[in-house]
Structure 1
Amino acid sequence: MFQGDETLVGEGPILLTYGSGIANIQLNSPSTGNGFDVPLMKVFHDVIMQVHGDNRVRAVILSGNGKIFTGGGNVKDFASKGEELPHYLRMATSYLQICVAALVNLEVPVVTRVHGFAAGGAGMGLVCSSDIVVCGDSTRFMAGATRVGMAPDGGATATLSKIIGFRRAMDLVLTNRIVDAAEAERIGLVTKTVPDSELDDVVLDYARMLAAGAPKALSAAKRLMWNGLSRGFEAALPDEARETAALSGTQDSMEGLSAVIEKRAPKFRNA
């Protein structure tokens, strides 16, 4: 997997490397199945903010270390809280909401690499808050929350039905059935399913393509698309018009037009 040539966070539950305009954020708690607990989520948010403040970054790869992407919440950590669990989960769910919102609000595209298994609020929340999702053909997905007597979180109650449709989302949330990679692509839960052996290459190709794009245009497109999930058609039109007009005055826009006319690859400079 792409690790970059510069290590920004080299130890702990979340790793961060950078190279060639791409930041790789990697979940790094394989012994818990990359299970989400409060300490991990605090670091996760800090790392996302570090990426947000790095003007070199043009695209992000989100991945998981170990056998699976994430199994959701760290159930052993949750069970250890005993009677204090409700108080702990109020904090945990709030941190998860902050993390998925931070991914959505990153100005650069997020390409998420899913392998093995993605489950629970963390699994579904991260998948649904990513811009591009690529999974290996052996990957499985499960909502999982109601199976342990809880409700979906990680923003999935707002995003999942918009992405795959209300009836499909209700089915996954209530039944907790396993969704294989082929179905995940068919219903739109992921962008693309590829052979496991090709997963790294396809994810990196996506990230490189996005990193070579016009940064301001990609940022505006991402923001408009996410805003459109929660706003009606009519409300979205003024934003589209405003962003398009503003972008047309950038050097990158002029370069893009010239490249099309001259039949060459554009050289975007984030200007």
Structure 2
Amino acid sequence: MTAPTSSRSRVRAMTEIAERRVVSADGPVLAELHQDGVAHVKLNRPDQANGLNVELLTELHRVIMLLHGDDRVRAVLITGEGTNFCAGGDVHTFLAKGRDLPAYIRVATAYLRLVATGLIRLKAPVVSAVHGYAAGGGGMGLVCASDFVIAAQSAKFIAGATRVAMVPDAGVTVTLTHLVGLRRAMEILMLNPVIDAAQALEMGLITRVAPDAALLDQAWELARTLSAGAPAALANTKRLLWNGLGEGIEAAMPEENQAQEILSGMEDAREGLAAVIEKRKPKFTGR
């Protein structure tokens, strides 16, 4: 039988819980720093498959900046609430913007660029645990900007940008090519195949596959293993590995964003978004 908890112990426990909090417990992004040094970041728009809009991206960037400034953070675990990790950009919001979409895309992609760069430049290693779908610049972008990716056996990956007459963003044109090679990246980004977890592992897109029921346990185990490692050694190893890509990622993102803004103002983009929502084949005209 456990001994009764004293008032002093209860106060201490409550204080420790309060100190773990990095961000408030509601909103589009949840984050908590645990005592083992693992910061758990949750995408929290489950009803929209964690689709990225400006509000979520703004908050995610704010969280990442908080993690950058907190020396207690030894590893980061990213998960998605609900049935999907992240289904990419919020197509319903995008389509609703109509002819104002380019202005909205300009802001959204600017924040997505900051998010991807922030994860890559974060000293702490980043682990993403993917279930359901990881799609578009959101899902694939977060996957490609993470240091480790564990996917549930039933997880699926799809690029999806050209399917809605847009281009990949979040640096995916560089990071994906580095991970899987030019020919495979060309196929993934231009033909938009649905990639299952086993295929993703075989091509080098992810680190490992876990049984669905064990996904979070294995992701936490990996994050805690990294958290227990030598922080300066891991941070410098991460930096050197990412620097091996040269300036390609950060140089590509502004060009991706500019192309995205231009394309989002075309009729084809609105047709592509409508087709995804209505679950039909798009009819592109080149306008």
Q: Normalising by the residue count of structure 2, what TM-score does the alignment of the two structures yield? A: 0.78
Match of residue 18 from structure 1: 33
1:138: Cα distance to partner?
0.1
Aligned counterparts of 2:236 and 2:22: Cα–Cα separation in 1? 27
Aligned counterparts of 2:218 and 2:73: Cα–Cα separation in 1? 19
Equivalent position to 1:8, from 15, 18, 22: 22
Match of residue 31 from structure 1: 47
1:169: Cα distance to partner?
0.5
Equivalent position to 1:80, from 96, 106, 120: 96
Aligned counterparts of 1:210 and 1:45: Cα–Cα separation in 2? 23
Aligned counterparts of 1:231 and 1:44: Cα–Cα separation in 2? 24
1:154: Cα distance to partner?
1.1
3-state SS of 2:88 partner? coil
Q: Which runs of 4+ in 1 moved over 4 A?
A: none
Q: How does 1:46-125 map to 2 (within 5 A)?
A: 46-125=62-141
Aligned counterparts of 2:74 and 2:102: Cα–Cα separation in 1? 39
Is 2:172 the partner of 1:156? Answer: yes
Is 2:146 the partner of 1:134? Answer: no
Aligned counterparts of 1:148 and 1:188: Cα–Cα separation in 2? 26
- 1:162-216 CA-partner distances (Å, limit 9, x unpaired): 0110000000111111000000000000000111111111111111110010000
Q: For residue 27 of structure 1, what is the amino acid of its counterpart? A: L
Aligned counterparts of 2:137 and 2:33: Cα–Cα separation in 1? 27
The unaligned stretches of length 5 or more in structure 2 are 1-15, 249-287
- 1:197-239 CA-partner distances (Å, limit 9, x unpaired): 111111111111100100000000000000002279xxxxxxx
3-state SS of 1:24 partner? strand
3-state SS of 2:22 partner? strand
Q: For residue 26 of structure 2, what is the amino acid of its counterpart? A: E
1:8: Cα distance to partner?
2.6
1:150: Cα distance to partner?
0.6
Identity %: 49
Match of residue 265 from structure 2: none
Aligned counterparts of 2:102 and 2:96: Cα–Cα separation in 1? 12
Match of residue 275 from structure 2: none
1:80: Cα distance to partner?
1.1
Q: Which has the higher contact order (CA 8 A, sep 6+)?
A: 2
1:18: Cα distance to partner?
1.4
Is 2:205 the partner of 1:205? Answer: no
3-state SS of 2:137 partner? helix
Aligned counterparts of 2:155 and 2:147: Cα–Cα separation in 1? 18
Is 2:182 the partner of 1:166? Answer: yes
Aligned counterparts of 2:26 and 2:130: Cα–Cα separation in 1? 21
RMSD after superposition: 1.3
Match of residue 193 from structure 2: 177
Q: For residue 11 of structure 1, what is the amino acid of its counterpart? A: D
Aligned counterparts of 1:231 and 1:33: Cα–Cα separation in 2? 32
The unaligned stretches of length 5 or more in structure 1 are 233-271
Aligned counterparts of 2:158 and 2:105: Cα–Cα separation in 1? 20
Q: Is the 8 A contact 2:22 2:66 kept in 1?
A: no
Is 2:201 the partner of 1:190? Answer: no
- 1:15-37 CA-partner distances (Å, limit 9, x unpaired): 00111110001100011110101
Q: For residue 100 of structure 1, what is the amino acid of its counterpart? A: A
3-state SS of 2:26 partner? coil
Q: For residue 17 of structure 1, what is the amino acid of its counterpart? A: E
Aligned counterparts of 1:30 and 1:199: Cα–Cα separation in 2? 18
